[in-house]
Structure 1
């Protein structure tokens, strides 16, 4: 496929503070070392991130500056051989909230509502169009694990992720348009697919969703100082699988 690139203003992060990773305290906290010494920071991602957050690796911190926070900084990026990987799992929804109309698959809709509940599930976006009687539902996934060019989701088993795919498949069978966007937040990502080795049930649910008519798209996300570059990459199985 010919890669299509979308440019949006980087209103998400300013200049990051350099640090060295020490160790993870629990899913959402870690110790890092800055010029000022050891600092506890927030990790905005519950995944394993073992290939990114290891002792001695270079990381980047975002100064939050909000009163009442336990930590001053949020760890938003980690060094890889290909460049910086952005681990912030909040980024996909923040991008969609402000720029959903910039994505070609979402053009033609008039309104979008975040965090829309359907049955027992809650989806990242519900879209409405004057010329479309059915509601469109979208779920976004943050991908940080890349192996040999393949962005793989999830990096840890996810019951919630499987549930979303089953519900989207059900909605698609009922005549609604249903989509999944993989946001590959790693510079080495050339494609995206399910991580069948880590979560075979998610991989099976993805195959089921595709058969039901759920649409899958993937974008490599590269934030720069002024712009965020979103490059469409194929949703396809890794070579050799």
Structure 2
């Protein structure tokens, strides 16, 4: 698919690069610059990231940026409800690939707490996030081929509550039948209200998904990523 035939809503900026490395460097520079400016105004700033393999070069590049990392709060947009030593743990991935180098002094908020299920651990997660200032400063989202982002899956029975624009909870337990693990996710309102939001995706299949999402932006329950395709979003894509 040609990138030039995707028509974004007014106010959505697209950054298309030739390689994942190039796009990762561009995204890291944009995020570092925004955080650096925010640190001139705020005592602490927040950075919310997504897991998976796509952001790995971005994590590496950003972890080496010269920032006052001791004043940066880092957390995941969502997490699988698995132990940290599980290969599926994004908490482990983040600690191994991002909270290193200059970023090792950042404060990390873990979405995975004690409890057999995310429902059991929900109160503990809320307590963990009690000191997190809102609105969030920087949010980096990913996207699945089904149009989910964070753990806002179209087939999750908890989706209507988590996507409710008036939802008063910062996190929600999610049990999408399509996924092998139960999940915990930030809800739509705190994600929606982030000061800087980037969608970081890779591959022509993700362009196909994005194009589909743009055809009917009001149907957010079918493709939750649609809730973020609004002015201010920056899309970073590579082949």
Q: In which range does the TM-score fall when normalised by the shorter chain?
A: 0.3 to 0.5
User: Which structure has the greater CA radius of gyration?
Assistant: 1
Q: Higher strand proportion, which one?
A: 1
Q: Higher helix proportion, which one?
A: 2
